[in-house]
Amino acid sequence: MTADVAICTWLSRSSGRQFAAAAAAEVGSSIHRCVHWRGEGGDAFVKIAAADRRLAFEAEAEGLQVLAEAGALRVPAVLAVGEAGGHALLALEWLDLEPAGEGNGALQAQLGEQLAMQHRMLAPRFGWHRDNTIGATPQQNAWDDDWVRFFRERRLGMQMDLAARNGLGTRCVDRGRELADRCGAFFSSYRPVPSLLHGDLWGGNWGVVAGTGQPAVFDPAVYYGDREADLAMTRLFGGFGPQFYAAYQSAWPMDQAAGTRRTLYNLYHVLNHFNLFGGGYDRQAEGMIDKLLAEFGA
């Protein structure tokens, strides 16, 4: 039995619907093989990876379900998660997505309002009941009552340790660890609440469902944390316009010092990009660390 036949059999059995014997098309991804699979009653978007990625797919599926239950932003429905043909598999509802662009003010405003609604879903503590992944990197989510400690240890510290093993320069690593030790100073007059976060909200992880004008998000790295972390990432690679920020601010105003912490939160993602892709992200990370430590005269 070929891998495609095994996947088709699994997909049909798991979803209770009939699917074509082979994938219709490959869909671009830098992390997994992703395919469009045609089926009766609706197509599927299937992520395919090595069998040892099954737990990561199970965590992603649960994250999507948590976001769906929040009733704020549209996410693709989970059809099945499991293993077949020697591969880990995650099958999602196929959404015909169109790029939104920053020029569609009404759509951007809708996204901002709905994200604020999602962020009002709170937990008693920071983290989540299980670990997941940010891209292909493990993301640690053990519950913690203290946000600064959570961010220092399970976000900055974890990525910095991994970056050191991946060849990040000694100066950058040393100063990054100094920053982690001192990052509590950025929260001296600010006490975040544990909001439900998408966790990987860059411009490539949202789009418009064709024919509906409805924004949808996908590829989450869900946990409960400071909502500023989601907002910070929206500014890292673009894709979000002024109407998005204005609508969010109107729905739930941000702390006046949010801009000060933006670089701190985005450092986590830049370090993760270094750990995933290398390239010039080391220089970007070092510049961000230097900028943040300059706040202390270091």
Would you please indicate which residues are annotated as catalytic (active-site) residues? 200
The answer to whether 222 and 67 have CB atoms below 8 angstroms apart is: yes
Written as six digits, the tokens of 116 are 């604020």
**Cβ-proximal residues to 13 (8 Å cutoff; 6+ apart), any chain:** none
Query: Among residues 44, 66, 287, which one has the least CA distance to residue 198?
Result: 66
CA distance linking residue 113 with residue 54, whole number of Å: 34
SS3 state at 208: strand
Helix (H/G/I), strand (E/B), else coil: 28 = coil
Return the residue matching tokens 């316009």.
241
Name the phi and psi angles at 101, rounded to 5.
80, 150
Task: For residue 143, report the phi and psi dihedrals to the nearest 5 degrees.
Answer: -55, 145
Radius of gyration of the chain (CA): 20
Contact 101, 207 (CB under 8 A): no
Q: What angle do CA 140, 146, 152 make, to 5 degrees?
A: 50
Q: Say how many C-beta atoms besides its own lie within 10 A of residue 94's C-beta.
A: 20
